[in-house]
């Protein structure tokens, strides 16, 4: 089996892209937990619904950036040809 340098780089790019897309799991779990806690907080204090919702959405937007960065890196590794 003869593996050239280009084949090795393309294989490593595909593996790296797969690993980068795993970064979407953490934000998804974190946002679900945040939404659950926010729903519980609104249930305890319905008068603070707008404050709780705005704080939750801000936190979820910050948490989502990690997943988007992972998606961006995965796309770059898959679609940018480093040797051509």
The answer to whether 34 touches 60, Cβ cutoff 8 Å, is yes
Map out the domains of the chain with their CATH numbers. 24-79 (1.20.20.10)
Whole-model pTM: value is 0.72
19-44 pLDDT per residue, tens:
988 888 888 898 899 899 999 999 99
> What phi and psi values does residue 26 have, to the nearest 5 degrees?
-60, -50
**Torsion sign across C-alpha atoms 57, 61, 66, 72:** positive
pLDDT score recorded for residue 8: 86
């Amino acid at each position: 089996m003869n593996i050239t340098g280009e084949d090795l780089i393309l294989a490593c790019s595909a593996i790296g892209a797969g690993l980068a897309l795993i970064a979407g799991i953490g934000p998804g779990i974190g946002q679900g937990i945040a939404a659950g806690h926010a729903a519980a907080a609104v249930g305890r204090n319905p008068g603070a619904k707008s404050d709780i919702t705005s704080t939750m959405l801000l936190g979820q937007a910050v948490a989502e950036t990690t997943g988007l960065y992972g998606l961006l890196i995965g796309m770059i590794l898959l679609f940018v040809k480093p040797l051509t």
